[in-house]
Structure 1
Amino acid sequence: MTSDDRDPLPVNPTLLPHQTPPPEYQPAEQGPMPADLPDAPQLQRPTGQRLSAQEVTDLVGGGDGSIVEANEALEQAEGIDPITES
């Protein structure tokens, strides 16, 4: 073993254990609701213009089965499983 000839480290006086228990936790209470709420211009209301059923069908795709079948045939020809890969 080696001898420990070094001087002892000084004690840090700020590192003391807690002398008193901490106060009980008291959560903050919710305050009263403001009397006058400011307007929120960032929220836009719907204009009332809605898409017709035909416009929705055009956007989503008319359900043309031949396109789906052609895509599945291409995926199978490329060796891609259409169920698990995209």
Structure 2
Amino acid sequence: MTQNDDRNDALPVNPVLSVRGPDQTEHISAEQGDAPADVAQRPIPPMLTPSTEGLSAGEVSTMLGGDASMTEANEALGTAEGLDTITES
């Protein structure tokens, strides 16, 4: 037990403090404002040129797991559940 445990003094209340401020006469909007005046003169940021190369068979196998038995098992499960898992795109 500390010496402050038996202290029952209440903290003083400040009547000036308030959760809300005085009534605001001007409505503050949260909408997007106008575009900057120099937006037309700004340089266009660089963009990466998309690659025209497709993925190699090794890259696809790495992404999909490479194990054909997993694919066959998933197809068998889908067929057993009545799903058409073998589709062409």
User: How does the TM-score come out when normalised to structure 1?
Assistant: 0.31
* Structure whose CA Rg is larger: 1
User: How does the TM-score come out when normalised to structure 2?
Assistant: 0.30
